[in-house]
Structure 1
Amino acid sequence: MAPPRVALCALCVLRVALATVYFQEEFLDGERWRNRWVQSTNDSGFGHFRLSSGKFYGHKEKDKGLQTTQNSRFYAISARFRPFSNKGRTLVLQYTVKHEQKMDCGGGYIKVFPSHLDQKQLNRNSQYYIMFGPDICGFDVTKVHVILHFKNQYHSNKKTIRCKVDGFTHLYTLVLRPDLSYEVRIDGQVAESGDIEYDWNLESLKSAAKKTQTEPQRWEQDWDKQFLDAGPSAPSDWNSKLDGDLQAPLLQKPPYQDGLKAKGINNDVWLHHKLKNTNYLTEYDLSEFENIGAIGLELWQVRSGTIFDNFLITDDEEYAEKFGKATWGETKGPEKEMDDVQAKEEVKLARELEEAELPLARQGQFRGFHRRGEL
């Protein structure tokens, strides 16, 4: 028998191996990214992207991502993958974003689209399933958007989730689970969590849909707990005048769920059943999407320079965590170190310039003194 630690490691490797990765992009093959990402031509004024690791970075190649290049522009670009449904499965969206220009007003979020997206015509009106990520505009707007498309409407998370506003790379993760729980993580730490039904104000829709259902007939007995057993027919020697009416026994109702039939019992004997209505919200309506097929950036930026990298769509939270550590986790430290070095060099250069200009300034003052004396 393998030691416990070895067995645990083997289990972790097996779990990661079983993860389904629907999309993963690290931009490690240079300009070949242009074969996978499609720039929208819906508007000739859309801004353009380039591949860059920025002015400071943790690793020059690993930190290369899509960078916005033009100020005061809308941007629209997307990548397609094999369509899938997340029905009954966890959905994890993850990516890194770096506002190197110290964002003053603009978006840093991603969008997930249905497979029928026309990539060449991608624009602000294109239908999406999920919008997730930071949005900054001055001091008033510094939030993480989590918007879900449901019943032909977009619904925002009612909680205020603050985003990072510095110039470093940050890891953003959204987890949507089949049990309707969710998590928003920033740099691997849970920034917000809860229940999709309540945190997206969907309970009001549920109440409205509930009212459209037909009220069940009121029975004198509690048929939710009991049912009538069909039982055998009356014996041949049964005399209703002498023996009274034949009474079928009342039995406790066994556990019953939609789509399941109690063993040995005919459905016809159920006197009270759960009414079905297609307008009623089911738990899978809230966090499931049938044909996810594209991911993209569709946003506005006043000042360009943002870098998007390390995109991931998977069904496994553990895989996402490992991927985050292997990418952002490896370069976040060196990135800050490089920024510190550059900041110190800038301070040193500013002092040298100031010292070089000071004698000239003094000479000017001295010459002015003599001129004033001559006057």
Structure 2
Amino acid sequence: MGRVVAPGSLWALWLVPVALATVYFQEEFLDGESWRNRWIPSTNDSNFGHFRLSSGKFYGDIQKDKGLQTTENAKFYAISSRFKPFSNKGKTLVIQYTVKHEQKMDCGGGYVKIFPSDLDQKNLNGKSQYYIMFGPDICGFDIKKVHVILFYKSQYHSNKKPIRCKVDGFTHLYTLTLRPDLTYEVQIDTDIIESGNIEEDWNLEELRKMEKSALKMPKNWDKLSQNDKPSDVPSQDWDKHFLDASANKPSDWNSELDGEWQPSLIQKPKYKDGLKSENVDNSDYKDVWLHQKIENPGYLQDFELSEYENIGVIGLELWQVRSGTIFDNFLITDDENYAAEFGMKTWGRTKDPEKEMDMIQAKEEIKKAREEEEQLIKENIKEKYFQTQHVKDEL
């Protein structure tokens, strides 16, 4: 049975013996420079880096492994491609592509973003609202992770589980699957690296809980006896806390994605016999009353946590210190089996030849280095011989 290709992507039409699947977007860069008709670079900043079509220094197939390659160091990049808008409501959504950091990435992004159809592609920049951000991000020794960020209720929510990305220079296949039952999977090179429930694994606890009370504590709360405290104030449901002065902001904290960082709150030691504990100096901090949160009895599971009405653009909006990354084999579909087969027909067929070519090149480089070293030694020996002969002639 043939697959169904969304209108607007007829250039990729071909028949395969798989179950009926809807392919919203597919890009392999097999038609040369025609990719420039489909991918629109942003002109929001004249200093944005440029892409070129390349298979890199080593590859499994010089034609099939061609993809968008970053070309300039220490640059922001912004480019995108449009397709017919669709909704994934009630459907599985699979986002898949390959990324190759042949420059051995030291600091930079290798992720993709999925945007609403009303994105102004010419104005794409870091502040452009997106639906989904997925893929590897590397910077130094601390950050080597796979981002999975979902836009929900006007906020960006990150997966709470640490997902480590690949850090070598070979091509890797990244796959994100979001299902209508709120389960998900993250795969790298067809291996399931992480999975679970979207409601539980994203920072969405506030949906299940509500504040028990919004009452303000009286100014003289500490001085009141238990009998004198107002009956409408939940005395046993409140704990007194203050800011942790020793807390430091994590090195990978991103204010745009994670919000404004604030130090954690720790509980103040209890008073005893009217004496304040000497272990904690709270002179520089104000007390903070924390609302106790309870399970919301009226909460209903929200199946729209990962559903979007007008998905219409895929793009690369990222920063790289050292350029050379190659993006290829983009796919957006509703069929997990088709995505798996497409991955094996692209990345699966060229991954081993790519490593073989890299190994051959490495051996040739070692051989060349040895030959150059031997030649240098011979020249030094020859130079010393002539110097010695010159001294003898003078004597």
The question of a shared fold, defined as TM-score above 0.5 by the shorter chain, is answered with yes
For 1:293 and 1:211, the matched residues in 2 are separated by 42
Instruction: Give secondary structure in 1 for the equivalent of 2:45.
Output: coil
For 1:14 and 1:122, the matched residues in 2 are separated by 35
2:382 alignment counterpart: 363
1:207-356, aligned counterparts within 5 Å? 207-208=209-210, 282-356=301-375
Q: Is the 8 A contact 1:209 1:281 kept in 2?
A: no
Return the match for 1:70 from 68, 72, 75.
72
Instruction: Give secondary structure in 1 for the equivalent of 2:210.
Output: helix
Instruction: Give secondary structure in 2 for the equivalent of 1:103.
Output: coil
Q: Is the 8 A contact 2:107 2:138 kept in 1?
A: yes
Percent identity between the two aligned chains? 72
Return the match for 2:117 from 115, 118, 122.
115
Return the match for 1:45 from 11, 27, 47.
47
Q: CA deviation at 1:368?
A: 5.8
TM-score (norm 2): 0.72
Return the match for 1:178 from 180, 191, 209.
180
Deviation track 1:295-315 (CA, whole Å, cap 9, x = no partner) reads 000000000000000000001
Name structure 1 gaps, 5 residues minimum. 1-12, 213-274
For 2:71 and 2:131, the matched residues in 1 are separated by 27
Which letter maps to 1:300?
W
For 1:372 and 1:110, the matched residues in 2 are separated by 69
Name structure 2 gaps, 5 residues minimum. 1-14, 215-295
Which letter maps to 2:350?
T
Q: CA deviation at 1:148?
A: 0.4
Deviation track 1:343-370 (CA, whole Å, cap 9, x = no partner) reads 1111111111111110111234445667
For 2:207 and 2:72, the matched residues in 1 are separated by 42
Deviation track 1:189-233 (CA, whole Å, cap 9, x = no partner) reads 000111111111212233139999xxxxxxxxxxxxxxxxxxxxx
For 2:97 and 2:128, the matched residues in 1 are separated by 21
Q: Is the 8 A contact 2:89 2:304 kept in 1?
A: no
2:198 alignment counterpart: 196
Distance 1:286 1:15, change over 3 A: farther
* Greater shift in the superposed pair: 351-360 or 39-48: 351-360
Distance 1:181 1:362, change over 3 A: same
For 2:353 and 2:172, the matched residues in 1 are separated by 14
2:157 alignment counterpart: 155
For 2:20 and 2:213, the matched residues in 1 are separated by 43
Return the match for 2:98 from 87, 92, 96.
96
Give the structure with the higher percent helix. Answer: 1
Distance 1:162 1:83, change over 3 A: same
Deviation track 1:43-72 (CA, whole Å, cap 9, x = no partner) reads 000000000000110001000000000000
**RMSD between aligned residues:** 2.4
Q: Is the 8 A contact 1:179 1:283 kept in 2?
A: no
For 2:388 and 2:136, the matched residues in 1 are separated by 58
Q: Is the 8 A contact 1:104 1:302 kept in 2?
A: yes
Residues matched between the structures, number: 299
1:87 alignment counterpart: 89
Deviation track 1:135-178 (CA, whole Å, cap 9, x = no partner) reads 01111111000000011000111111110001100000000011
For 1:177 and 1:209, the matched residues in 2 are separated by 31
Distance 1:182 1:15, change over 3 A: farther
Which letter maps to 2:186?
V
Q: Is the 8 A contact 2:48 2:76 kept in 1?
A: yes
Distance 1:182 1:370, change over 3 A: same
Which letter maps to 1:91?
L
* Greater shift in the superposed pair: 45-54 or 363-372: 363-372
Instruction: Give secondary structure in 2 for the equivalent of 1:22.
Output: strand
2:189 alignment counterpart: 187
Distance 1:164 1:154, change over 3 A: same
Distance 1:287 1:281, change over 3 A: farther
Q: CA deviation at 1:85?
A: 0.5
Instruction: Give secondary structure in 2 for the equivalent of 1:172.
Output: strand
